[in-house]
Amino acid sequence: MKKLIKHCAPACTAVLIFITMTLSSCTTMGGLLTNLATEIAVNEGVISRDTATRVQSAVEKSETASQGFTVEQEYSIGRGVASSILASYPLYQKEELTLYVNLVLQSLVANSETLEMINGYHAAVLDTNEINAFATSGGHILITKGLLKCAQSEDELACILAHELAHIQLQHNINAITAERKKDAGKAWGEALVSVAADNVDAMKELQNDFETVINTGAVLFESGYPQSQEFAADKKALEYAAAAGYNVKAMESVLEMLDKNTKPGQTGFGKNHPTPTSRLKSLKDQYNLYPSFNTEKVRTDRFNQAIKSL
Amino acid sequence: MEIMKKLLILIAMLVCSFACFAQSKMYVKNDGNSALSLRSEPKMFAKSKVKVAVGTEVNILETSADGKWVYVEVAVRKNQKGWTQKNLLSQRKPSTKSSASAKELALAGKGFNSEVEALYAQSGNGNFDSVDLIESFSVDEDSVFIFLSDGKLKGGQ
């Protein structure tokens, strides 16, 4: 009997994996079922502990790639991506300005439904005159001094921050990372199904490589920018956020016009794939009247001018 | 062999159906604030009746017409009731640690742990000190309310 079971071991493993894949309909089900099934199989002597571990790890990776990351993982990745950017650009540490930018951000967050963030949303200014901004899946929104100088009112700053907030909600950064990870998952599957030999992979090294790959994918977007369609989508969603908070959506138009003036011909001012301000203005042309119109209040512009005095 | 395969399938299906339907509890999310206000009305900055800690289990009694607000009661203290925004609740019990150590717990999530982050930082790749600094900068609810009111924005007075 035991001989028969051992003989069927590879077939059993394959059947177990197939069952868990077809039955996984809930977020963590695939992993739960796999762990249960493989543990039973190990106890019955059908598969070795090593094989069980490899199957579990493969399902975990594949599940992660196909169903997205957990909130905790997105936060961790967001921190990693932010750390990578902050290794290149120092923080502009002026408390009054940082507080102000965070208040504008929270004004947007308070008025719209936003994705759950482990540690909330935080904004910071980068000490560079380059024109750029970045948002991570961990809720970090980084905006350069150069971009801040392109804004002439709180409403314009709000539109810039709303655009970054939109990238987070639309999960552009994390989706790019997920796509990258899917390539990795295929490799893990192959290893688990074929190998019943002793497991000599250094688990820590594997984790470390995984983390680095994920961070690099996210950080590279800071240089190249998102696909144009995603930039246009973020622009549209930004108007929604701005209007919900009571900001003047037309401020998006004026800040894009300023960006247009400040960027050299052929450059976008952002990553090389970024759409030009002109194309963004065109894409938004008929969007403004979809939202209630508010004036750019003087009280807001006054406090904006006060806050950016140090720039 | 056949019997064991069938048994495994049966167990797997039972576990799957059980876990799929256990979705009725909600918990107060950790969104950077230490406590959540349950309010007298489904409006932002309406009077706070009681503050409940992050991770507290609540039962939803009613949902507003636009679906954004829910009237809840604290599971273990049913006299504590009030309105809160639905997106401040989670189906997963969150970490109840302070924001400083939320990072450690979060990193301990599958795959990435603090050791991995430390190794990445050590190799000169990432500046986590700056990330921590950014995350330490928070604005309290009262300040946001005043900012909204002064700026003639929505959600203020």
Rg (CA), chain A: 24
Inter-chain touch B8–A210, beta carbons under 8 Å: no
Question: Which residue of B9, B120, B137 is in closest CB contact with A102?
Answer: B137
What is residue B94's predicted lDDT score, i.e. its pLDDT?
59
Partner-chain contact B134 A91, CB within 8 Å: yes
CB burial of residue B102 (10 Å; 0-12, 13-18, 19+): buried
Q: What is the mean pLDDT of chain A?
A: 78
Q: For residues A2 and A108, give the distance between their C-alpha atoms in angstroms, rounded to a whole number.
A: 65
3-state secondary structure of B59: strand
- Reported as a single tens digit per residue, the pLDDT across B16-60 is 544 443 335 788 876 656 678 899 999 877 888 888 887 888 999
Highest average pLDDT, of A173-182, A256-265, A289-298, B86-95, comes from A289-298
The maximal CA–CA distance of chain B, rounded, in angstroms, is 74
Between A36 and A166, residue with greater pLDDT: A166
d(CA A218, CA A136): 8
* Residue A189, pLDDT score: 39
Return the pLDDT at A34. Answer: 64
- Is the Cβ pair A70, B9 closer than 8 Å? no
Portion of chain A with pLDDT greater than 90, in percent:
41
Above 90 in pLDDT, residue B151?
A: yes
**Span A90-102, average pLDDT:** 96
∠ CA A107-A89-A208, rounded to 5°: 95
The stretch B55-67 carries a mean pLDDT of 89
| pLDDT over threshold 80, residue B3 | no
pLDDT at A80 over 80: yes
How many Å lie between the alpha carbon of A263 and the closest alpha carbon of chain B? Answer: 29
Q: Which range among A282-286, B21-25, B100-104 shows the weakest confidence by mean pLDDT?
A: B100-104
Token representation of residue A304? 């904006």
pLDDT tens-digit map of A188-217: 433 433 332 223 335 556 666 667 777 777
Tens digits of residue pLDDT in A53-63: 766 766 555 54
CB of B60 within 8 Å of a chain A CB? The answer is no
DSSP state letters, A120-160: --EEEEES-SS--EEE-TTSEEEEEHHHHTT--SHHHHHHH
User: H or E element: which one contains B85?
Assistant: strand B77-85
- For residues A55 and A40, give the distance between their C-alpha atoms in angstroms, rounded to a whole number: 13
Confidence of residue A64 (pLDDT cuts 50, 70, 90): very low
For residue B16, list chain A residues with Cβ-Cβ distance below 8 A.
23-26, 29, 32-33
Q: Tokens representing A84?
A: 């990578």
Q: Where does the pLDDT of residue B99 fall: very low under 50, low under 70, confident under 90, or very high at 90 and above? A: very low
Average pLDDT, chain B: 75
- B140 CB-near residues (< 8 Å, 6+ apart): B33
At A101-151, the pLDDT tens digits run: 999 999 999 999 888 788 899 999 999 998 889 999 899 999 999 999 999
* Helix, strand, coil content of chain A in percent (nearest 5): 65, 5, 30
Strand partners, B85: B69
Q: Is the pLDDT of residue A47 over 90?
A: no
| pLDDT confidence of residue A58 | 61
In B, residues 18-57, which contact A (CB 8 Å cutoff)?
A: 19-20, 29-33, 44
Structure token pair of residue A19: 């069952």
What is the percent of chain B with per-residue pLDDT over 90, rounded to a whole number?
22
Nearest Cβ partner of A102 from B4, B111, B139? B139
Residues 88-127 of B with CB under 8 A from A: 90, 92, 94-95, 99, 102-103, 105-113, 115-117, 119-121, 124-127
